[in-house]
Amino acid sequence: MNRPRAYSIVTLNELTQKKPYRFGVELLQKVAFCNLILKGSVFLTASEEEVGEYMNGLAERRSLPERVDGRPYRCLAVMDFGDRQRLQQYVEMLQSKHPISFDWDINVDLAQAPPFGSAHTVLPTIIRNSKLYNMKEKRFFLPGELLSAHGVHPLVSSLVPDSLLQLCEGHPAKAHKMIGNSMCIPQVGAVLACTLLNFM
């Protein structure tokens, strides 16, 4: 979630007739997601080879030469100037708020700079222009990882058409826009079911 929200739960209690009570994102996270490992990198499932190919693809689109040592490009080297600036703003914001021992395993959206954007252990909302970046692994999310976060694994699911897989591999910007415009309905239902079951 990019913005804090408040929720209301209405309970029917004939004996006490208590009024509905309100709770925020923090309580919802503790109750509904208490069994999850809240680390930003838990969503990163691509192999080093896949990440290297993706970074080299970004470098090629920026007309960068192949590296002499044959190693893949690092994400920072293939970033746009604006993305580097926003990343530095996040680093400065987090360093000012947290001690040296801070766990950097969080995700940020480099499409938004602070204070409009913020850091999350879970995934921020995926929108068309999202550039999700993990601070610990120091790299962008691959399109396939964004699909997995939607609840659809592009490698094993027969629901994903070949054209979408090809789009994810060859045109990451178009893939990001398509993923940002989509929603996995079964995943939304599963989250709602888990949330409601914890209050029954």
Please answer whether residues 153 and 143 qualify as being in contact, where contact means their C-beta atoms are separated by less than 8 angstroms.
no
Q: Label residue 98 by pLDDT band (50, 70, 90).
A: confident
Q: Which residue has the tokens 């080093």?
A: 48
Structure confidence at residue 137 (pLDDT): 94
CA 194/CA 166 separation, integer angstroms: 34
Structure confidence at residue 122 (pLDDT): 75
Cis peptide before 124 (omega within 30 of 0): no
Q: Residues 39-81: pLDDT tens digits?
A: 888 888 889 998 999 899 889 988 999 888 889 999 999 999 9
Q: Residues 149-195: pLDDT tens digits?
A: 776 655 544 455 555 556 566 566 677 777 766 666 666 776 677 67
* CA proximity to 138, closest of 62, 99, 83: 83
Q: Residues 99-114: pLDDT tens digits?
A: 777 888 999 999 888 8
pTM of the entire predicted model: 0.68
Residue 65 is encoded by which pair of tokens? 């030469």
* CA proximity to 83, closest of 111, 115, 55: 111
Structure confidence at residue 69 (pLDDT): 87
Burial (CB < 10 A; 0-12, 13-18, 19+), residue 133, is buried
Dihedrals φ, ψ of 143, to 5°? Answer: -55, -40
* CA proximity to 59, closest of 33, 43, 80, 32: 80
Residue ranges per domain, the chain? Answer: 38-190
First to last CA, the chain: 24
Residue 85, number of CB atoms within 10 A of its CB: 12
Structure confidence at residue 91 (pLDDT): 92
CA 152/CA 121 separation, integer angstroms: 20
Dihedrals φ, ψ of 169, to 5°? Answer: -80, -40
Contacts of 91 (CB under 8 A, 6+ apart): 135
